[in-house]
Amino acid sequence: MTMTRREALLSGAGMVLAATLPQGAALAQAAPPHRGGVMTVHLGSEQRILNPALRASTGVYVITSKIIEPLVDLGTSGRPEPVLATSWAASEDGKTVTFKLREGVKWHDGKPFTSADVQYSAMEQWKVHLNYGTTLQLYLDAVETPDAHTAVFRYSRPMPLSLLLRALCDLGYIVPRHVFQGTNVLENPANTAPIGTGPYKFVEYQRGQYVIAERNPDYWREGFPYLDRIVWRFITDRSAATAALETGQVQLSAYNGLPLADIDRLKTDERFEVSTRGVEANVFNNTLEFNTRRKELSDVRVRRAIAHAVDVNFFVENFLYGLGKPATGPIPSVSTEFFPNNPVPYAFDKAASEKLLDEAGYKRGAGGIRFTLRLVPIQNGEDVPLLATFIQQSLAAVGIRVEIVQLDIAGALTNVYRDWNFDLATGWHQYRGDPAVSTTVWYRSGSPKGSPWTNQYGWQSDTVDKLIDDAATEIDPVKRKALYADFVKAVNDELPVWMLTERPFYAVTSKKVQNHHISPRWDSGDWHDTWLLPS
């Protein structure tokens, strides 16, 4: 039997992972952790904000999770483990969750961490501004602080504890109340010069160049961290980033930061580990968002026609080195707890696309053109402009002209999510273990204008809003899964945003880096126990 390109590459990735894990474990056992050293990390873009309580994004986490800490994070077992919270308990009706907080923790400016910081973060930043938090905490009525180390979350509808704990790994970062309260939250200088409780303290942010953080000598985990300093370098030329990695200037490139061709090539370089290890919690999709304020796109037949016009299999095999597959909707197949086992909803079918466009009243005109759309790529990765061009070519074949508007990531986010100045937008969606964490917010109405990666398409469905709210507040796991199956069917039918692909992230890590990728969201973790082999 002949292997496909995808099967061969994924098999190769598995062999690389199998080969490197024992070696990494042997190194960790053979040598004690080395203190000191500077770890340099490649980032392909910057989002101009470093506050994870305001913006949920791997581009923020990969930096600021070393500086600002959440209540809980995913441990090596893949389950939520204590960070700033030491324990938690939910009431039988699911409407009250009580967190006991870690004592003796200090902010980097020397002030004590208390429950007042948790109350402020939850009620004033997560619930009001955080792009995924506004939906997750929709029914959070209050956070009570009976003492300095207890925070009691009160909900008007049940909050499943498993959902809340998984969500707080990404949407539970705590910021200092004394720094933000009484200020313009969105313009506070701490958004770009963060003050946290984490193992590393912010030092400097030079736009377009680098961010620097240094060891926190007063960190609450005694004896940690090991590294002296972490430097994040913004290298927008991905080939230059590969060169920096190969010459030792950089030790890590995360979240598919290098050219796909280089990721494939470096799998055979013994100096590096190339794998999906440590990013299992961040499966992602390529997306196509439709601004339904545009007359043509307000017709679901046009949206479905666009989906039928794009050969996703061809794109994956020929542009993504086979590293992925067509998605079946917003809940990926790896989510065994919630995946509804549905088929791919829109197979490539040019004839069906043309028929739907004709039925919608958009027949070919002069030069065979039906209408023209503006597409804004949100430049998360190398594949995004490739997909934009592929969509442009695919839609031209059915009579839709596409003009691609090239902006940096900050400009694209502003155009799409704040100004609604787009017809189509393409980027990434990340699934974080539970649909209510960062997926349903792509579909539910009511997110604040300007919140990235939320429903800003001018599309609203009472049915979908109710399904989302009911599923997010259902304690029975069987009923939750059934509600999410209904949700997937509804949004696949209406198609306000199309999830085209399902893909794993790859990280490329120098083998000088020790104790890395040991938890499912390691690249977005705190790295307190990571160290470098001495030169």
**385 and 488 in one domain?**
yes
327 is a domain residue: yes
Residue whose pair of structure tokens reads 């909707």 in the numeric block: 329
User: Any residues with CB less than 8 A from the CB of 80 and at least 6 apart, and which?
Assistant: 72, 73, 74, 165, 166, 168, 169
Q: How far is CA 5 from CA 286, 411, 495, in A?
A: 19, 36, 30
pLDDT by position in tens, the chain (length 535): 333 433 333 333 333 333 333 334 334 445 799 999 999 999 998 878 999 999 998 899 999 999 999 999 999 988 999 999 999 999 999 999 999 999 999 999 999 999 999 999 999 999 999 988 988 999 999 999 999 999 999 999 999 999 999 999 999 999 999 999 999 999 999 999 999 999 999 999 999 999 999 999 999 999 999 999 999 999 999 999 999 999 999 999 999 999 999 998 999 999 999 999 998 888 899 999 999 999 999 999 999 999 999 999 999 999 999 989 999 999 999 898 999 999 999 999 999 999 999 999 999 999 999 999 999 999 877 899 999 999 999 999 999 999 999 999 889 999 999 999 999 999 999 998 899 998 999 999 999 899 899 999 999 999 999 999 999 999 999 999 999 999 999 999 999 999 999 999 999 999 999 999 999 999 999 999 999 999 8
Chain mean position to CA 167:
12
Name the token pair of 513: 């880096």
Same domain? 290 vs 263: no
Residues 269 and 288 grouped into a single domain: no
Residues 110 and 142 in one domain: yes
| 192 domain residue, yes or no | no
Helix H, strand E, coil C: the string for 24-48 is HHHHHHHCCCCCCCEEEEEECCCCC
Q: Clarify whether residues 382 and 293 are in a common domain.
A: yes
- Cβ neighbours of 293 (radius 10 Å): 13
* Whether 373 and 294 share a structural domain: yes
Q: What is the CATH number of the domain that holds 75?
A: 3.90.76.10
Exposure pattern of 399-413 as b/e (b: 16+ CB <10 Å)?
bbebebbeeebeebb
Q: What is the DSSP string of 457-497?
A: SS---HHHHHHHHHHHT---HHHHHHHHHHHHHHHHHH-SE
Picking from 129, 150, 183, the residue at the C-terminal end of a domain is 183
Tokens of 181: 């309260």
Within a domain: 358: yes
Q: How many CB atoms lie within 10 A of CB 352?
A: 17
Same domain? For 155 and 296 the reply is no
What is the count of structural domains for the chain?
3
Q: What Å distances lie between residue 146 and 8, 156, 161, 254, 339, CA to CA?
A: 57, 19, 21, 41, 40
Range(s) of the domain holding residue 269: 5-50+198-278+506-532
Report the alpha-carbon distance of residue 498 to residue 310 in Å, rounded.
11
Q: 227: exposed, middle or buried (C-beta count within 10 Å: 0-12, 13-18, 19+)? A: buried
Whether 344 and 376 share a structural domain: yes
Q: Among 158, 183, 208, identify where a domain stops.
A: 183
The SS3 of residue 252 is strand
- The answer as to whether 449 is a domain residue is yes
Say which CATH number the domain at 224 has: 3.40.190.10
